[in-house]
């Protein structure tokens, strides 16, 4: 099993990302931590192979965590999973040894593609020995797997992730109208994506009955703890 540390400033997001990791065969979540706890865990746990690392952390930035890890001689692999999308941060992450960079918001398929590519890279590297140019090219390109989630025709990954994030951050079930108001999409669009998430088991549908008329459909994220 590949042991993964999930480091995010939002505990709810960390729980969902950890659940995503556990859904990918061959991966196991070793823990969910803040920046300081992550550094301690990498040194204390028997093995941490990979860190999914947010950049915006309350105690220090993700890049500072990577810098401190390298200063301590810790070579644990890192995939940045963050909303930070400025080129300077992406460039700094690359120069400090981050293997990949996944921009929030993202869907499960995007993270799964990165993890599966990482597992493939480890299998290649674990073989050891010498590599011809073709093998070197394959190693360096191993993490370039596409991250676009597979959605039905006519659906946007960006819109799907907006709806997912809205459900994830909500304190309780939301209606399509409430989702529309919070995300800026139309009510019809919100309803279409909510039905898709509900059909695929990622959102849970509940009915709210009023004094008269049809019940209101309300949705919440299915993996909420």
Model pLDDT for residues 81-110, shown as the tens digit of each residue: 988 888 888 888 888 888 888 888 788 888
Read off φ and ψ for residue 28, nearest 5 degrees.
-140, 135
CB-based contact 70:97 (threshold 8 Å): yes
How much is the pLDDT for 212? 66
- Longest CA–CA span in the chain (Å) reads 74
* pTM as predicted: 0.62
How much is the pLDDT for 169? 85
> Mind listing the pLDDT tens digit for each residue in 119-154?
888 887 777 777 677 667 666 666 654 444 456 777
How much is the pLDDT for 145? 46
| Structure tokens given for 181 | 């108001």
> Mind listing the pLDDT tens digit for each residue in 30-78?
988 777 788 888 888 888 999 999 998 888 899 999 999 999 998 899 9
Q: How much of the chain is in helix, strand and coil states, percent to nearest 5? A: 45, 20, 35
Where in the chain does DSSP place strands (E)? Answer: 2-7, 27-33, 50-53, 77-82, 100-103, 174-175, 203-208, 216-221
CB-based contact 58:32 (threshold 8 Å): no
The C-alpha atoms of residue 98 and residue 64 are separated, in whole angstroms, by 12
Give the mean model confidence (pLDDT) for residues 164-180. Answer: 91
Give the mean model confidence (pLDDT) for residues 16-25. Answer: 92
Give the mean model confidence (pLDDT) for residues 172-191. Answer: 93
Residue 190, SS3? helix
Read off φ and ψ for residue 218, nearest 5 degrees.
-130, 145
The C-alpha atoms of residue 52 and residue 17 are separated, in whole angstroms, by 9
The C-alpha atoms of residue 62 and residue 102 are separated, in whole angstroms, by 13
The C-alpha atoms of residue 20 and residue 29 are separated, in whole angstroms, by 10
How much is the pLDDT for 44? 86
Measured over the CA atoms of residue 178, residue 182, residue 185 and residue 186, the dihedral's sign is positive
| Structure tokens given for 68 | 């401190």
């Amino acid at each position: 099993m590949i042991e993964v540390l999930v480091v995010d400033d939002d505990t709810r997001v960390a729980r969902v990302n950890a659940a995503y990791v556990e859904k990918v065969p061959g991966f196991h979540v070793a823990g969910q931590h803040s920046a300081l706890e992550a550094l301690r865990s990498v040194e204390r746990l028997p093995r941490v192979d990979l860190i999914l690392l947010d950049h915006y952390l309350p105690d220090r930035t993700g890049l500072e965590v990577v810098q401190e890890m390298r200063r301590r001689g810790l070579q644990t692999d890192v995939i940045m999973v963050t909303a930070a999308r400025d080129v300077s941060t992406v460039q700094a992450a690359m120069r400090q040894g981050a293997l990949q960079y996944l921009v929030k918001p993202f869907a499960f398929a995007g993270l799964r593609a990165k993890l599966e590519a990482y597992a493939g890279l480890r299998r290649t590297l674990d073989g050891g020995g010498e590599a011809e140019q073709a093998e070197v090219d394959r190693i360096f390109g191993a993490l370039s797997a596409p991250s676009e989630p597979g959605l039905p025709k006519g659906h946007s990954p960006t819109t799907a992730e907006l709806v997912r994030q809205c459900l994830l951050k909500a304190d309780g079930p939301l209606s399509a109208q409430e989702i529309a108001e919070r995300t800026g999409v139309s009510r019809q669009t919100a309803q279409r994506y909510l039905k898709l998430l509900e059909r695929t088991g990622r959102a849970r549908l509940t009915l709210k009955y009023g004094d008269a008329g049809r019940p209101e459909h309300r949705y919440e994220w299915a993996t909420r703890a």
